[in-house]
């Protein structure tokens, strides 16, 4: 299929207009027509009142209830964006459901057909606000939250909807295809199946960036069926596309190749129609069979098949960092909150509990014990090479070092610190976002400012390179994080906005806080879109998914071989084994030259 689609694209977009392939004729088959003896489900219309995510905007929707519906059992369901179009006589999804369910080619499914909202005008002289593009075309999580927090709970009051993400599917056409995919992409813990018809993965509101994100991001448990036509926004006079945002057929091919590269269970069918549902309606039964095949077997993540074939390039690949079958594990549950994990040479991890004003230790087997009660508001911890634990105590506004029993030694007073970086010599760098400074605490206990009034808008996380020749500074406002060279006297010189990170879709600040490095010189940033891994050359090469929906606040390596990655998210501590090793403060090492 992939080779066929690519050849067709070459023929339709790169050759002169006179050789454009003629459109085929698509007709509805028997599976889309009522069949004798097949029990028919029912379709009921409803209205969803205006809610939080689209204020003032009601939505109409319909629910298809299969004839075999059993209210005592959680029922799989499928949400169709632009729902009325899929209910129409041109597509006939309820009829297809009836036939395929009767033959046990689909489980008994509830269909939810939701229409885009329209904000009513204030008067007859004013125009309505049409929400469709805003709802469907955005890459943010607003629409997924609308589904999960407003639509599904409302439907769930009437029908017994399954909570299993393997039982939940999404479908969309055109811009609605982007909306369906993004809802699953943003919440793979809730949706595992997507149908995309004539999807608009072009440069309108950011969907053209999705192929690169899909290639970089750790795969999610999704199955995706895509369809498009070779004449979608293609005419003889404009064989490269009529629309300002790009070529629909080419971009569907590009996003499909990204899915294949990352190892997704994906399929692309390209016909000869334009921007309509003629082919989509004709192949709807087959698309549904493919999407729900082998049900109820769960959809799981697989490594890309190419990983085990000659010519595989491991550079910058997610599975060069993590294992496909070894995901996040929660560490302990006795604490109230968690911040700033750090590791010593013995494989122990220390972290702060700000809510209870404590410091905890987790051993290599994840056994959590209390290290220090009444920790003076300790919120930043860093292990030193001298087997002491360095901490910034917010209540006392000071940096201290702690011995094995928790006894303190005061190192600096009257300071503020968002993060610390401790060198093998015991000198300390600390960041102050409010003053926009980075300061240096030398071995004699003297403090001086080594960076101020520069381009780093909000210096937050700090990390040393494996050879401790460079200091990495994350900027919580900008998409760029910085690399500074460390002069012999500890000063910071030759700073550059070296690392370009992926930004969250909403908001104007990156929110990047924690940062750490591995022995290869690759840098790991804790961000709202996951753990972003930058090659030593400054490019984001991989994005690791967080264990739960939400922002990652800190990251560190730990374990006897520094081959476990620890993160904090939502006040919890998680860890997973990795294929790389973290840089050791007690054992500086020169990293290899980066790829250029």
User: How is the chain split into domains, by residue range?
Assistant: 2-304, 318-577
What's the pLDDT at 178?
Answer: 98
- Between CA 60 and CA 52 the distance in angstroms is 16
In degrees, rounded to 5, the angle at the alpha carbon of residue 447 between the alpha carbons of residues 444 and 450 is 125
For β-strands 358-362 and 480-486, DSSP reports them as unpaired
Q: Judge contact between 401 and 390, C-beta under 8 A.
A: yes
**Strand pairing partners for 462?**
473
User: pLDDT tens, position by position, for the chain (596 residues)?
Assistant: 343 343 333 333 333 333 356 779 999 999 999 999 999 999 999 999 999 999 999 999 999 999 999 999 999 999 999 999 999 999 999 999 999 999 999 999 999 999 999 999 999 999 999 999 999 999 999 999 999 999 999 999 999 999 999 999 999 999 999 999 999 999 999 999 999 999 999 999 999 999 999 999 999 999 999 999 999 999 999 988 998 999 999 999 999 999 999 999 999 999 999 999 999 999 999 999 999 999 999 999 999 998 989 998 888 899 999 999 999 999 999 899 999 999 999 999 999 999 999 999 999 999 999 999 999 999 999 999 999 999 999 999 999 999 988 889 999 999 999 999 999 999 999 999 999 999 999 999 999 999 998 999 999 999 999 999 999 999 999 999 999 999 999 999 999 999 999 999 988 889 998 999 999 999 999 999 999 999 999 999 999 999 999 999 999 999 999 999 999 999 999 999 999 999 999 999 999 999 88
CATH fold of the domain at 2-304: Rossmann fold (3.40.50)
> In whole angstroms, what separates CA 67 from the centre of its chain?
38
CATH topology of domain 318-577: Neuraminidase (2.120.10)
pLDDT for 8 equals 39
| Parallel/antiparallel/unpaired status of strands 358-362 and 110-114 | unpaired
Residue 136 phi, psi (nearest 5) = -90, -35
Distance CA 353, CA 245 (A): 49
Half-sphere exposure of 539 (CA within 13 A, CB side): 11
Predicted TM-score (pTM) of this structure: 0.94
How many residues appear in the chain?
A: 596
SS3 content of the chain, % helix, strand, coil (to 5): 20, 30, 50
- In this structure, the number of other CB atoms found within 10 A of the CB of residue 24 comes to 13
CA–CA distances in Å: residue 418 to residues 131, 434, 446, 462, 562: 41, 9, 19, 9, 24
**CA–CA gap between residue 269 and residue 247 (Å, rounded):** 16
Q: How far apart are CA 243 and CA 241, in angstroms?
A: 6
Whether the CB-CB separation of 314 and 536 falls below 8 Å is answered with no
pLDDT at 20: 52
Query: Is there a cis peptide before residue 296, judged by omega within 30 degrees of 0?
Result: yes
Query: Which contiguous run of DSSP H or E holds residue 472?
Result: strand 470-475
Buried b (16+ CB within 10 A) or exposed e, 135-151: bbbbbebbbbbbbbebb
What pLDDT is attached to residue 332?
94
């Amino acid at each position: 299929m992939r080779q066929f689609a690519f050849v067709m694209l070459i023929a339709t977009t790169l050759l002169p207009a006179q050789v454009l392939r003629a459109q085929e004729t698509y007709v509805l088959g028997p599976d889309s027509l009522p069949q004798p003896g097949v029990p028919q489900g029912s379709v009921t219309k409803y209205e969803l009142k205006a809610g939080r995510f689209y204020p003032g905007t009601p939505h109409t929707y319909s629910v298809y209830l299969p004839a075999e519906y059993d209210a005592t059992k959680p029922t799989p369901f499928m949400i169709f964006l632009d729902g009325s179009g899929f209910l129409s006589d041109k597509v006939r999804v309820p009829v297809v459901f009836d036939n395929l369910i009767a033959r046990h080619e689909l489980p008994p499914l509830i269909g939810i057909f939701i229409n885009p909202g329209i904000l009513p005008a204030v008067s007859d002289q004013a125009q309505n606000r049409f929400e469709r593009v805003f709802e469907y075309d955005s890459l943010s999580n607003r629409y997924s939250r609308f589904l999960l927090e407003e639509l599904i709970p409302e439907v769930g009051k009437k029908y017994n909807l399954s909570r299993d993400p393997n039982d939940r599917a999404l479908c969309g056409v055109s811009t609605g295809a982007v909306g369906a995919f993004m809802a699953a992409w943003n919440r793979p813990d809730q949706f595992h199946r997507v149908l995309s018809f004539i999807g608009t993965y072009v440069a309108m509101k950011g969907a053209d960036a999705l192929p690169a994100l899909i290639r970089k991001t750790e795969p999610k448990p999704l199955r995706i069926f895509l369809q498009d036509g070779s004449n979608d926004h293609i005419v003889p006079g404009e064989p490269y596309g009529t629309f300002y945002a790009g070529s629909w057929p080419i971009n569907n091919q590009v996003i499909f190749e990204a899915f294949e590269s990352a190892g997704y269970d994906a399929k692309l069918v390209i016909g000869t129609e334009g921007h309509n549902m003629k082919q989509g309606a004709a192949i709807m039964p087959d698309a549904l069979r493919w999407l729900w095949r082998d049900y109820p077997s769960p959809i799981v993540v697989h490594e890309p098949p190419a990983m085990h074939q000659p010519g595989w390039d491991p550079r910058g690949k997610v599975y060069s960092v993590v294992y496909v079958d070894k995901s996040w594990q929660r560490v302990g549950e006795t604490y109230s909150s968690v911040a700033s994990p750090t590791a010593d040479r013995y494989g122990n991890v220390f972290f702060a509990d700000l809510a209870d004003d404590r410091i905890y230790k987790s051993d290599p087997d994840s056994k959590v014990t209390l290290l220090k009660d009444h920790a003076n508001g300790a919120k930043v911890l860093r292990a030193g090479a001298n087997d002491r634990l360095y901490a910034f105590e917010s209540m006392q506004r000071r940096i201290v070092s702690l011995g094995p029993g928790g006894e303190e030694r005061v190192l600096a007073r009257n300071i503020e610190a968002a993060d610390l970086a401790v060198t093998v010599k015991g000198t300390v760098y600390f960041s102050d976002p409010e003053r926009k400074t980075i300061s240096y605490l030398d071995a004699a206990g003297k403090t001086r400012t080594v960076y101020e009034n520069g381009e780093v808008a909000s210096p937050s996380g700090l990390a040393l390179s494996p050879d401790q020749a460079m200091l990495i500074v994350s900027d919580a406002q900008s998409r760029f994080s910085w690399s500074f060279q460390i002069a012999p006297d500890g000063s910071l010189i030759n700073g550059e906005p070296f690392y370009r990170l992926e930004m969250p879709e909403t908001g104007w600040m990156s929110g990047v806080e924690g940062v750490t490095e591995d022995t290869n010189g690759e840098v790991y940033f804790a961000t709202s879109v996951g753990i972003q891994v930058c090659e030593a050359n400054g490019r984001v090469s991989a994005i690791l998914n967080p264990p739960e929906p939400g922002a990652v606040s800190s990251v560190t390596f730990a374990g006897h071989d520094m081959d476990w990655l620890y993160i904090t998210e939502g006040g919890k501590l998680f860890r997973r084994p990795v294929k790389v090793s973290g840089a050791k403060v007690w054992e500086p090492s020169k990293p290899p030259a980066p790829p250029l």
